[in-house]
Structure formats: C-alpha cells, structure tokens
A and B are shown apart, each in its own frame.
Chain A
C-alpha cells in the first residue's frame, strides 16, 4: 500500500469525525434535550429533515438507474450502475445510522417489523426502507462476490437480478412518496407553501429528478477523483431526462400552488417566502433555464452546475417541508445545535470515506457490469470462467 498522505480533505474529515464523536458521547449520555435544539414544540429537526428526508432523496439515483438499465434496457448506462448502487446503499445505511441518533430508543428500531400498525405511514416507510436496504445490498453483492471469486453466489444473484430490480423500484416508489405522505397529516401545522395533498407525488417526482442530478454529479466527481467518466453523449442524455423531469415537477408544483392560491402568500415576506423562493429558483428555474440550451446539456461544466443547482434546490425543499414550514404554527425558531450539525457532518464524511475505500478495494469502476442480466455483457474474466464451467 502506498504511504499515507495527509491532504487537506483528510484533515477536514478528521476534525469533523472528532467533533462528531464528542457529539455522539453527549447525545447518548445526556439525551436529546441536552444534545439538540429540539423541544416539545419542535420535535423533528435536522436529523429528520436532512439526514433522513434528504438522505433518502439523494440516494434515489439507485432505483432510477437500475430501472433505466435493466427494465428499460438502456444498457449504455451500465458503466455507472455500480457506483450509483453503491452510493444508494451507503446512503440508506447512513439514514439508518442517523435514525439511531434521532430515535429516543434506537435499540427498539426493529419494533415496527413485529409490532404492526398498517394505518401508519411511518410503519410503511420503516418496512420499505428495511426491505430496500436489503435489496440494495443484494444488488451490490456481485461486486463483492467478484472480488472474492464466488461464482456460485454470482450465478444465484444473476438468476434473481431482474425480480430484485423490480422490487427495488417498487419499494423506492412507495417510500420516496411516503416521506411526503408523512406530512399529509399536519394540514393545520405545515405552511401552505408546502402543505398539499400532492405531497407524495411531488416527493416521488423530485426524487427522480434528484436521482438523475446525483448521477450526473457523481459522474463528474468520479472523473475528477478517479479518472473515470461517462462519455459525453451519455451525460447529455441524462441531462435531457433531468430537464424533462424538472418540467414535469414544475407543472405539478406551480399548478398546485396556483390551485390553492398559495402564490399570493409571497407578498407576506418573511423566512418562509425567502426560502420558498430559494427552493424554486435554485431547484427549478435556474436549472431549467440552463438545461434548455443544447450547448449547456452537451458540456460537462454546464451539466455539473445544473445538477448541483437541482440537488441544492431540492435539499432546500425537503428542509423547508421539515423545518421552515413547521416553525410558524409551533411558534418557534429552530436552528440546529452544534452537536446536531457535527453528527450530520460526520455521517456525510463517513459516507465519502467509505465510498473512497470501496472504490479503492472493490471493482466498482473497472468492470462494466453492474447487475448482470441474462448472461450478456459479462466482464471478460468472468465470462471466461463460466465458459470454462459450461
């Protein structure tokens, strides 16, 4: 192994993880009251708003891309299936880690699996997230199997890969939308900029947009750090799909705001209006205005900027639903405590670190094959192995 090199980002990561470790001690010894700015009037904060809602949304590339490649059979996107599935899997694992911080009794996290309440959206989300994390683990498994040369397990995985992909897409559809449904029950508490019966549909549509944006973003990042990049035509068609997704979302969003007469609330000003406009301008108006030009869609810089804008815009959207929109009705101003920020930053940092390690030690980028479908497109070395057996 190469000698350990101290870089700027490694120092940042170390500092963040250290702060996170101290915050963790405080969280689990002193309780949520001492380690967060949450209160009876404001029971859900950064850990739910960012770590869970945004975490799940940012991991949406997993189901978007596996569906594109294996259901819609657009095999040209295959080279990025593995990094995307890995990101999604890590994302979900980190969401569960964040939940262990946020739940008052994290050691009972398994309760929803045995103590049922099918009327609860949260119950449905718990089941979907559990099952989908399992599906992602199985979708990612071939990478590990290849590394360890476990051909028998690889063949079993291959046999169930299509049902797995379908299950993954269905489970994602359900819980991506259900994270929006969670807020259907608070019509009197959530600000009218964000409360709408369309919440589940809006959450689902935006998850697809963010999934595409994250795929473009990750591809640019991998180009920078691992020297692997998608060919320009592939990125451009992702950009086109993203443009279509954003337009569909905008039509739904603006139509709904107009129907409910929520637009005129903009004149009231205040925090809500400011952050509402940030969400609309960053996530919708700017990226649509950029992506509509073929010249932008066909340049890696243009695509990169557009995808970052979309991600920032929809992160703002989720935070607005979970935090901004819930403040006024509860008569509180919530801003996370340093401990909350440190834990969140550590979780993100750990995600980056694990991803970098996985890329280093596992065949994430070199093998073209993400999820094999029906024996075609095998990595050369493996194709040779299975031919030898047959």
Chain B
C-alpha cells in the first residue's frame, strides 16, 4: 500500500525537530545558522517556514507520477511502490532538467562543489521500505507531521477539515496537485503564501511530453518512407531527363561539375 505524509500546519509549533532529524538521517550538517535559513537547499532538504505565528513545511512532495522521474535523461529518479521518489546519484550527469521541470521546484543543486549532485528529500525511502515512518514524522512532538497509508491520511485530513471548517483552508494540498502527491498538506492560510504554486493543475505533467514522445515512432517511419520516396521520384526524373537529352535537346541545363 502506498504510504504518505500528512503535515497539518495548524498543529506545528516551529520546533524544527523535523529539520534536525532530516539532516541527521541524510548525513548533513545542522546548526543554529542552518536552522535559521528559510529556504530549501542542497544542505537543507526540509524547512519549516515561518510567517508570524503561521508555519509551513517545505519538503519533496514525492509525486504519484513524478515529473523529475519523467524528465531525467538517465532515469536517476524512481517512484517506489511504497511512495517515496528516490534519486540514484551514481547515474546523475548534473543537467538540472529535474530542477527546471519540477512543478514545486524541489530538487536543489550542490552549486559550490566541483562535482555537484542534486539533493532532495526522498521520504526516507530505506526506512519506509522497512515499514518504518520517515525521520521527520517519527520525531514530530505534536503530530503535525504524520506518517501512514496515503488513503487513510486523506480520509483523516477530510475529517479534520469537516470537524473544524473555520480552522482550515478547505483544501488538501497534494490530493490532486500535479496528479497527486504522497505528501499532503493542511493549512489555515492559503498555501501560496508559503510559495506553494497554485497553478500546477491536476494533470500529471509527464503526460505533456509523453503525448509528443509517443508519436515519434510514427514520425520516424512515415518520414523516412516519405523522404525515400521523394528521392526516388526526383532522381528518376533526372535519369529520364538525362536519357532523353542523349537523343534530343530536351535535357535540362547541366549542373556545375556534371560531365
């Protein structure tokens, strides 16, 4: 069964325990200076954003049909059956198409390294594969970040909104965005206030390019046959003209270089 994360911003107290647990899990440094950084980066895979008394986490949405997995020329990204979208660093050529294409602009780059890699939250894929929750969900003291079956989390999110309609924006972010994501968000303020795009639509983005790519085999076979045919006809015409030219003066003007 596909797993997911439900983050309920109304329960978050900005303790940043998730940031620390994530850094530890991924072998990244974490100190007060990094804790104060208010954006995702190659060394900070998740961040608790703060605006007054409102908080919001950013992390990889782990899409159901991930754009990164579709665009990567070497297939470095993979959607696992359990839900996480993983990244195989040994394949990566560093083209950054994933960064350009991701509708949530999640993948980040090691800009300061001579041989950089892409970094992103992978929803603790190894832990999830072993049946454990993600590091961020496990450590969360208030239950703001909750790990579980995606379907069950959706039901729970709907219930929370229904019970306290005044407390939430009536929208589960990630339920349908870009075809749905493993990470689901609840908030009392509009999501765009924390930089979540609201114009990504509900269609999985990989369809946009697949519609074109799936036509290519036909384009190749039809095109090659057409060009071959045109070549045959135009050359035949020339051969005929040349043969006629031998017996009369109907031959076309000679091309430079032909004898």
Residues of chain A at the chain B interface (Cβ within 8 Å)? 28-34, 38-41, 43-44, 67, 70-73, 75-76, 78-79, 102-106, 108-109, 111-112, 115-126, 162, 166-167, 169-170, 173-174, 178, 181-182, 184-189, 197, 200, 326, 330, 367-369, 373-374, 376-380, 383
- Total inter-chain residue pairs, C-beta < 8 Å: 192
Given contacts A40-B41, A43-B100, contact A378 B257 (CB under 8 A): yes
**A166 partner residues in chain B, CB cutoff 8 A:** 224, 227-228, 231
- Total chain B interface residues with beta-carbon distance under 8 A: 62
Q: A105-B92, A181-B212 are in contact. Are A44 and B74 (CB under 8 A)?
A: no
Distance of A117 Cα from B208 Cα, bound (Å): 16
Across the interface, do B67 and A377 meet the contact criterion of CB distance under 8 Å? no
* Neighbouring B residues of A102 by C-beta, 8 Å: 95
Take A30-B114, A330-B105 as given contacts and tell me if A117 and B231 are in contact as well, using a CB distance cutoff of 8 Å.
no
Whether the Cβ atoms of A33 and B230 lie closer than 8 Å is: no
Query: In the docked arrangement, what's the CA distance between A38 and B238, Å?
Result: 55
With A105-B92, A189-B103 given, name 6 new contacts (CB 8 A).
A31-B112, A32-B111, A71-B234, A73-B234, A169-B223, A169-B227
Interface contact B257-A78, CB-CB below 8 Å: yes
A71 interface neighbour in B75, B101, B230, B237, Cβ under 8 Å: B230
Complex: chain B residue closest to A38, CB-CB:
B111
Instruction: Return the chain A residue nearest B216 by Cβ.
Output: A174
B61 to chain A, nearest CB (A): 14
- Chain B residues with CB under 8 A of A383: 259
B216 touches A124 (CB 8 A): yes
Is B112 a contact of A188 with CB atoms below 8 Å?
Answer: no
Contact B111 A112 (CB under 8 A): no
Instruction: Say whether B95 contacts A103, CB under 8 Å.
Output: yes
Chain A CB within 8 A of B209 CB: yes
Instruction: Tell me the residues in window 44-70 of chain B with beta carbons closer than 8 Å to chain A beta carbons.
Output: 67, 69-70
Distance between Cα atoms of A120 and B100 in the complex (Å): 13
Beta-carbon contact of A170 and B220 below 8 Å: yes
Taking a contact as CB atoms closer than 8 A, the residue among B41, B91, B100, B228 that contacts A186 in the complex is B100
Smallest CB separation, B39 vs chain A (Å)? 8
Q: Are A105 and B231 in contact (CB under 8 A)?
A: no
Give chain B interface residues in 91-134, CB to chain A under 8 Å.
91-97, 99-101, 103, 105, 108-117
Tell which of B75, B115, B197, B212 touches A104, judged by Cβ atoms closer than 8 Å: B115
29 A/B residue pairs, CB under 8 Å, sorted by A: A33-B111, A38-B111, A40-B40, A41-B105, A75-B255, A103-B94, A104-B92, A104-B95, A104-B115, A108-B74, A108-B93, A112-B74, A115-B74, A115-B75, A115-B91, A116-B75, A117-B74, A121-B212, A121-B213, A122-B71, A122-B95, A123-B74, A126-B73, A170-B220, A173-B223, A182-B97, A188-B103, A373-B235, A380-B257
Which A residues are in CB contact (< 8 Å) with B258? 75, 376-377
- Do the beta carbons of A78 and B93 come within 8 Å of each other? no
User: Contact between A368 and B72 (Cβ–Cβ < 8 Å)?
Assistant: no
Q: Are A118 and B94 in contact (CB-based, < 8 A)?
A: no
In-complex Cβ contact of B101 among A125, A185, A374 (8 A): A185
- How far, in angstroms, from A109 to B73 measured CA to CA in the complex? 10
Interface SS of A by simple majority: helix
Question: CB-CB < 8 A to A116: which residues of B?
Answer: 75
**What is the CB-to-nearest-CB distance from B240 to chain A, in angstroms, rounded to a whole number?**
12
A41 neighbours in B (Cβ, 8 Å)? 105
* Neighbouring A residues of B72 by C-beta, 8 Å: 117, 120, 122
Tell me if A109 and B114 are in contact (CB < 8 A). no
Nearest residue (CB) in A for B252 is: A75
Q: Is the CB of A184 within 8 A of B208?
A: yes
Q: With the chains together, A109 CA to B74 CA distance in Å?
A: 10
Q: A185 to B67, Cβ gap below 8 A?
A: yes
The distance from the CB of A290 to the nearest CB of chain B, in whole angstroms, is: 29
B184 CB–A CB distance under 8 Å: no
Q: Identify which of A39, A120, A186 gathers the most chain B CB atoms within 10 Å of its CB.
A: A120
Contact of B201 among A78, A185, A188, A377 (CB under 8 A): A188
CB contacts under 8 Å to A, within B207-244, are 208-210, 212-213, 216, 219-220, 223-224, 227-228, 230-231, 234-235, 237-238
What is the bound-complex CA distance between A42 and B190, given in angstroms? 25
Contacts A117-B72, A188-B103 given: A43-B109 contact, CB under 8 Å? yes
Q: Which residues of B contact A79 (CB under 8 A)?
A: 256
CA A167 to CA B40, docked complex, whole Å: 45
How far is it, in angstroms, between the C-alpha of A121 and the C-alpha of B215 when the chains are bound?
A: 12
A43-B99 contact, Cβ under 8 Å, with A115-B75, A166-B231: yes
| Residues in A whose Cβ lies below 8 Å from that of B170 | none
Asked whether B179 is an interface residue with its Cβ less than 8 Å from the other chain, the reply is: no
Query: Are the CB atoms of B92 and A108 closer together than 8 Å?
Result: yes
Residues 179-218 of chain B: 1 if any A CB is under 8 Å from the residue's CB, otherwise 0? Answer: 0000000000000000001011100011011101100100
With A and B bound together, what is the CA distance between A377 and B257 in angstroms?
5
A376 CB contacts on chain B under 8 angstroms: 258
**Residue contact A104 to B255, C-beta cutoff 8 Å:** no
A71 touches B209 (CB 8 A): no
A123 touches B115 (CB 8 A): no
